[in-house]
Amino acid sequence: MSNQKWLMPEEKAKRIAVGAIVAGVIVVVFLLAVIISQVVEIYVAKKEQARLEQEIDRYEQLIEEGNRDLEYFESELGMYHQALEQGWKTP
């Protein structure tokens, strides 16, 4: 009878240890999944940020070119060339 008293707590201790190990492994796997998903999200966000910065640079360049064209067409020389293209004759 005394052997059964000692076997029961030892068996319970083994079960508790196995349960704790399983729970620990599950927590570690869950944390790794969260970390990996966060790293992927950061990578995707940085790629999107780089793409948007390139697009902003491209639009700024288009605005600068448009401003130069506007200045030209508002100048006397630009108006003169436009008039010639529309069929006007020089006096």
Question: How far is Cα 73 from Cα 76, in angstroms, rounded to an integer?
Answer: 8
Joined tokens for residue 11: 């068996």
Question: How far is Cα 80 from Cα 68, in angstroms, rounded to an integer?
Answer: 17
Residue 37 CB-half CA count within 13 A? 6
pLDDT tens digits for range 22-73:
999 999 999 999 999 999 999 999 999 999 999 999 999 999 998 888 888 8
> pTM to 2 decimals?
0.57
Helix (H), strand (E), coil (C) string for 2-56: HHHHHHHHHHHHHHHHHHHHHHHHHHHHHHHHHHHHHHHHHHHHHHHHHHHHHHH
pLDDT number for residue 1: 46
pLDDT number for residue 24: 96
